Amino acid sequence: MGIQHRFDGSLLFPVNILKMINILGIILVFAAAIGIFGAFYPNRQTLHILYTTIVLIAFIYQLATAAIVYDQAVHIESWLSQVWADSSRDYRLYAQHKVPSEF
């Protein structure tokens, strides 16, 4: 409903974080495929080095994503205050008087 009223702060998760999580998932699927392939060829050291490198890259990327999420969570009050102040008067009245149907 918030998006229909052009209220940008209505998204629970920012779009960039969702994209980062999808990229992390793709990296992990790629690492899993290399790991499975490496299991069939235990004598190929190159596959094991590649697998370890990809897992380390995924770990560093996950830490970076977690740091960004934490930073946004710490500043959520100021972000919501800014979004609320920028919203239209009609939407603020709508949001204040909206009765949730279920909890």
Residue ranges making up the domain that contains 49 = 8-97
CA distance 5 to 91: 7
Residue 102 has pLDDT above 70, yes or no: no
Instruction: Kindly state whether residue 3 falls inside one of the protein's structural domains.
Output: no
Could you read off the pLDDT of 63-78 as tens digits, one per residue? 999 998 888 878 778 7
Chain mean position to CA 88: 28
3-state secondary structure at position 69: helix
Is position 103 within any domain? no
Whether residue 19 lies inside any domain: the answer is: yes
pLDDT tens per residue across span 42-99: 899 999 999 999 999 999 999 999 998 888 878 778 777 877 787 788 877 887 777 6
- Measuring CA to CA, how many Å separate 65 from each of 50, 62, 80? 22, 5, 21
Q: Is the pLDDT of residue 4 over 90?
A: no
Task: Report the number of distinct structural domains present in the chain.
Answer: 1
What pLDDT, on a 0 to 100 scale, did the predictor assign at position 89? Answer: 83
Which structure tokens are listed for 85? 């102040």
Residue 44 covered by a domain: yes
